Amino acid sequence: MSVLLTGGAGYIGSHTAVSMIEAGEKVVVADNLSNASYESLRRVQELTGAEIPFYQLDLRDERAMNGMFERENIESVIHFAGLKAVGESVEKPLLYYRNNLDSTLTLLEVMERYGVRNIVFSSSATVYLDGNAPFSENSPLGCACPYGWTKFMIEQILRDAAATGKLSAVLLRYFNPVGAHPSGRIGEDPSGVPANLMPYISQTASGKREKLTVFGNDYPTRDGTGERDYLHVCDLAEGHVAALRYCREHPGAEVFNLGRGQGVTVLELIEAWNRANAMTIPYVIGSRRDGDIAVSYAIADKAKALLGWEARRSVEDMCRDAWNWQKQNPNGYEL
């Protein structure tokens, strides 16, 4: 019996593959490689010694999906596949709705056809309505971009599908995953200029970017810069192992925040990086970025109580591991 990781060649999927294999699971990966490289999976196999059946397919391709479910003995699915760039989703909303919704619907239809009942879904803290942090799973919802709405809509689709009694769904709202596997063999490999803070800091550290621009220092936070709940990607990966265990044992749909439950400002993250890696990241203060909110962090109690999961790694661990990956792979997976 195997666990299918859709989008498993990507950043979070590849780290989760390692944790799942370490937990004794067999994994199969399906990915169209639109935002990933097969090299990540080659390295996961190297790190774990496991063989991972890989299907380069688009989840919307029902024939290819049927073929995979026919060949593999799939028992559960962790559904990472999707487009995730906030800015791009504003420019190309139809691309985002088409890709993220259609791939989920096709996946669910094929799962039903093959009697696969368990799904863990990658949702996002971006579904929370601004202004109510810290967010609990019951905080009001509302999204600021099409990407976020795709997560909101897919959550609803999964709740409705689970209400029929034919599906068990766990919806994971990730906060800000950062860092890399401590080996430095797998990590985050953004294409082009990074939109997110941690990869931008990494590339500034390596000299690829001249300096970091801090987007605004006039927010109502400790030091005026944006506050987020950064979470080590390996903690997040382990959260999926716990979530899948829960999913198998609990029919219906349940939602969990996965975060550390602590807000860290942009300046605090820069300081943590400097401490962890004995360097000084050059930065300037710029204006606010459109669409940014001041504060986002989790109340993470529910995951601890019901999944038995909590993040163990520190902000310094995240910075050290991000730098280790960046140093070893200045051009990401491009060999």
295 binds ligand WQD (CB under 6 A): no
Q: Which DSSP symbol is given to 220?
A: S
| Cβ atoms of residues 200 and 194 within 8 Å | yes
Among 3, 5, 11, 311, which residue interacts with ligand NAD (rule: CB under 6 A)? 11
The one catalytic residue in 11, 55, 96, 147 is 147
Q: Going by C-beta distance under 8 Å and a sequence separation of 6 or more, which residues neighbour residue 62?
A: 106, 109, 110
100-139: which residues touch ligand WQD (CB under 6 A)? 124, 126
168 vs 137: CA distance, rounded Å: 18
208 vs 167: CA distance, rounded Å: 46
55 binds ligand NAD (CB under 6 A): no
The minimum distance between CB 197 and ligand NAD, in angstroms, equals 10
DSSP-derived 3-state class of residue 257 = strand
Give one DSSP letter per residue of 1-18, joined into a string: -EEEEETTTSHHHHHHHH
259 binds ligand NAD (CB under 6 A): no
Active site residue 147: yes
254 strand-pairing partners: 170
Question: Which residue from 183, 180, 158 is spatially nearest to 168, judged by alpha carbons?
Answer: 158
Binding partner at 215 among ligand WQD, ligand NAD, none, C-beta below 5 to 8 Å by kind: ligand WQD
Name the segment binding ligand NAD (CB under 6 A); options: 3-11, 210-218, 219-227, 307-315.
3-11
Binding partner at 179 among ligand WQD, ligand NAD, none, C-beta below 5 to 8 Å by kind: none
Give Dmax over CA atoms of the chain in angstroms: 56
Containing 227, the helix (H) or strand (E) segment is strand 227-228
325 binds ligand WQD (CB under 6 A): no
Question: Which residue from 331, 90, 59, 92 is spatially nearest to 192, judged by alpha carbons?
Answer: 331
Binding partner at 263 among ligand NAD, ligand WQD, none, C-beta below 5 to 8 Å by kind: none
257 binds ligand WQD (CB under 6 A): no
Residue nearest to ligand WQD (CB): 226
38 vs 30: CA distance, rounded Å: 11
Among 27, 154, 170, 197, which residue interacts with ligand WQD (rule: CB under 6 A)? 197
The minimum distance between CB 26 and ligand WQD, in angstroms, equals 28
Give φ, ψ of 11 to 5 degrees. Answer: -60, -60
298 strand-pairing partners: 135
The minimum distance between CB 280 and ligand NAD, in angstroms, equals 26
Name the segment binding ligand NAD (CB under 6 A); options: 74-82, 237-245, 267-275, 323-331.
74-82
200 binds ligand NAD (CB under 6 A): no
243 binds ligand WQD (CB under 6 A): no
Q: List % helix, strand, coil for the chain (3-state, nearest 5).
A: 40, 20, 40
Helices (H) and strands (E) in the chain, counts: 11, 14
Which sequence positions are flagged as catalytic?
A: 147
Write out the residues near ligand NAD by the rule CB under 6 A.
7, 9-13, 31-36, 58-60, 80-84, 99, 103, 122, 124, 174, 177
Write out the residues near ligand WQD by the rule CB under 6 A.
84, 86, 124, 126, 176, 195-197, 200, 212-215, 226, 228, 266, 289, 292, 296
